């Protein structure tokens, strides 16, 4: 046994410090290579760090809630000789490893080639070595399951996949640490989730589909008053970044806001048809998808709303990196879909769903939040009719989609119940004049009123 220190790695985000959120181990605990030992928070995201050592935890050098610089020693381990992984190279690639029962003699794998016996390698911390993966362990525990590409008398792919997903006695649930955290946040019991991963693992989509989405946005229970009279929350991490960005935006760009009520009944009919279409099977479809397409179409007709302002010039961007404001447990973030103008309706729907899932997990990377050109904030999911959104820094336009609900609406001289929403938008008046802003909002409204215009 040799004493080794684990230093806070560069998580590949261009950041120099991180906060120790929670330790997953304690002094005296035995740990394995790749076992998650600590959760850290940067200004951008939460990251779970696995151990590059196998051995016994000797001491935790940094207390929870403490912010330390990259390179600071945070834990010491009495490491087993020869059981140290190579240095970290990209912590953003970190994955978890789940222990499975040892294989039976009948299912024992062939000996590993010499090239694979060069020593244990921490996942995401260097070259691949002889480390048992989920795929390997799963196949050992369930050797009776045929592999894809086997003899011609094998079952059809769909049948093989179904067999892979059947529960195997003695084998625990297979899910990466971020998936387990997401399930915990949403109150989902992973033992009740049907996995759809290729190796029988539970995916993010599996957890989201199993969860009751209404509980994500609505308070089901009213908590008791806190026992202390006041609470003080340190301004750090993501909250500090949000505060700086909002102050800079509000007091740098002169905001002007516009609002319009829209009869979105045909949008709701269109969404209903897409949900039942075979072309959109397995994809989440919502009014936000139509709103996104409407914004892209309106940007093409009014490119100044997709600009950037500098002291020397206005940069008109002839592409759309569409930002979607996302409320997460850690605060507001605005990831964006790159080159959304080139996407089909289905591809855009898939991108929106993936963006939402990733943001809700707290796993959105800095690259996914960089270089946005215009933003949508969907305040309708919170039951709000409209609002005056603040511009995302670096952009000159942001548009808000309010709740869509039935209201009395005059149609051909008669009052009828229609699905009505309010579209609100804010613009940087240094770049966007009133007539341009008005035409842009009117174009978005026209698509929500008649989605068929997208076919032109």
- In CATH, what number is assigned to the domain containing residue 56? 2.40.50.100
For residues 400 and 70, what is the distance between their CA atoms, to the nearest angstrom? 38
Is residue 199, in this structure, part of any structural domain at all? Answer: yes
Helices 287-301 and 345-361, packing angle to 10 deg: 110
Q: Which helix (H) or strand (E) holds 418?
A: strand 414-428
434 and 306, same domain (yes or no) = yes
How is the beta sheet containing 2-7 ordered, strand by strand? Answer: 2-7, 73-84, 53-60, 30-31
Q: Which helix (H) or strand (E) holds 78?
A: strand 73-84
Is residue 179, in this structure, part of any structural domain at all? Answer: yes
Write out the DSSP string of 224-239: PPPSSS-------HHH
441 and 391, same domain (yes or no) = yes
196 and 251, same domain (yes or no) = no
347 and 432, same domain (yes or no) = yes
Q: Where does a domain end: 197, 222, 247?
A: 222
103 and 202, same domain (yes or no) = no
- Provide the residue count of the chain: 456
414 and 266, same domain (yes or no) = yes
134 and 166, same domain (yes or no) = no
Please, are residues 41 and 21 in contact by the beta-carbon 8 Å criterion? yes
Is residue 227, in this structure, part of any structural domain at all? Answer: no
Q: What is the pLDDT of residue 170?
A: 52
Digits of tens for pLDDT over the chain (456 positions)?
688 888 888 766 556 788 888 899 999 999 988 888 998 877 666 778 888 888 899 899 999 888 888 889 999 988 775 555 544 433 333 333 333 344 444 444 444 444 343 334 444 343 333 334 334 444 443 333 333 334 444 444 444 343 344 445 455 788 887 788 788 877 788 887 878 887 788 887 778 777 744 344 444 456 788 898 888 888 887 778 788 888 989 888 999 999 999 999 999 999 999 999 999 988 889 999 999 999 999 999 999 999 999 989 999 999 999 999 998 877 888 999 999 999 999 999 999 999 988 888 878 888 899 999 999 999 998 889 999 999 999 999 999 999 999 999 999 999 999 999 999 999 999 999 999 999 999 999 999 999 999 875
Q: Where does a domain end: 99, 122, 144?
A: 144
Residue 214 token pair? 């209404």
The domain that holds 269 is classified in CATH as 3.30.559.10
Burial of 7 per CB tally in 10 Å (0-12, 13-18, 19+)? middle
255 and 352, same domain (yes or no) = yes
Is residue 270, in this structure, part of any structural domain at all? Answer: yes
429 in active site: yes
Instruction: Spell 136-161 as b/e; 16+ CB within 10 A means b.
Output: bbbbbbbeebeeeeeeeeeeeeeebb
Q: What is the pLDDT of residue 431?
A: 95
Q: Where does a domain end: 144, 166, 200?
A: 144
Is residue 232, in this structure, part of any structural domain at all? Answer: no
140 and 164, same domain (yes or no) = no
Give the residue from 59, 38, 41 showing the smallest Cα distance to 49. Answer: 38
114 and 23, same domain (yes or no) = yes
Please, are residues 337 and 349 in contact by the beta-carbon 8 Å criterion? no
To 10 degrees, the CA torsion angle through 390, 306, 258, 443? -140
Helices 434-449 and 287-301, packing angle to 10 deg: 140
Please tell me the total count of domains within the chain.
3
Q: What is the pLDDT of residue 189?
A: 81
199 and 250, same domain (yes or no) = no
Is residue 230, in this structure, part of any structural domain at all? Answer: no
For residues 322 and 373, what is the distance between their CA atoms, to the nearest angstrom? 6
Active-site residue (options: 7, 130, 255, 429):
429
Q: Quick one: residue 34, left, alpha or beta (phi over 0 = left, psi -120 to 50 = alpha)?
A: left
Is residue 122, in this structure, part of any structural domain at all? Answer: yes
139 and 244, same domain (yes or no) = no
Q: What is the pLDDT of residue 44?
A: 61
Structural domain range at position 352: 238-455
Is residue 233, in this structure, part of any structural domain at all? Answer: no
């Amino acid at each position: 046994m040799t004493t080794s220190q684990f230093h806070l790695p560069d998580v590949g985000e261009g950041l120099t410090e991180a906060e120790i959120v929670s330790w997953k181990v304690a002094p005296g605990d035995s740990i394995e290579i790749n076992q998650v030992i600590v959760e850290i928070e940067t200004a951008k995201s939460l990251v779970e760090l696995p151990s590059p050592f196998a051995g016994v935890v000797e001491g935790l050098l940094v207390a929870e809630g403490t912010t330390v610089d990259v390179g600071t020693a945070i834990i010491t381990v009495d490491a087993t000789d020869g059981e140290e992984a190579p240095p970290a190279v990209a912590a953003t690639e970190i994955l978890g490893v789940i222990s499975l029962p040892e294989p039976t003699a009948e299912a024992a794998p062939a000996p590993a080639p010499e090239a694979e016996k060069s020593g244990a390698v921490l996942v995401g911390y260097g070259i691949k070595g002889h480390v048992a993966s989920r795929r390997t362990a799963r196949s050992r525990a369930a050797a009776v399951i045929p592999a894809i590409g086997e003899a011609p008398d094998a079952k059809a792919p769909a049948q093989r996949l179904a067999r892979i997903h059947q529960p195997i006695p003695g084998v625990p649930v297979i899910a990466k640490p971020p998936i387990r955290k997401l399930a915990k946040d949403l109150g989902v019991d992973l033992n009740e989730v049907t996995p759809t991963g290729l190796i029988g693992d539970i995916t993010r989509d599996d957890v989201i589909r199993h969860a009751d989405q209404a509980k994500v946005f609505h308070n089901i229970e009213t908590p008791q008053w806190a026992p202390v009279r006041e609470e003080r929350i340190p301004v750090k991490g993501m909250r500090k970044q949000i505060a700086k960005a909002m102050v800079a935006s509000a007091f740098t760009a002169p905001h002007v806001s516009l609002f319009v009520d829209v009869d979105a009944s045909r949008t709701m009919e269109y969404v209903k048809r897409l949900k039942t279409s075979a072309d959109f099977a397995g994809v989440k479809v919502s009014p936000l998808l139509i709103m996104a397409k409407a914004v892209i179409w309106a940007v093409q007709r009014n490119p100044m709303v997709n600009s950037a302002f500098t002291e020397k010039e206005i940069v008109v961007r002839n592409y759309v990196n569409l930002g979607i404001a996302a409320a997460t447990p850690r605060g507001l973030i605005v990831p964006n879909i790159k080159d959304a103008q080139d996407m089909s309706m289905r591809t855009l729907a898939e991108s929106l769903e993936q963006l939402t899932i990733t943001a809700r997990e707290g796993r959105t990377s800095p690259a996914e939040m960089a270089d946005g050109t215009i933003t949508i904030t969907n305040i309708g999911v919170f039951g709000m009719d409209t609002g005056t959104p603040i511009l995302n820094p670096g952009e000159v336009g942001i548009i808000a989609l309010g709740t869509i609900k039935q209201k009395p609406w005059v149609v051909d001289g008669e009052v009828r119940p229609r699905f009505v929403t309010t579209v609100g938008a804010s613009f940087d008046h240094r770049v966007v004049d009133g007539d341009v802003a008005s035409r842009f909002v009117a174009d978005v409204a026209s698509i929500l009123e008649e989605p068929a215009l997208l076919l032109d």
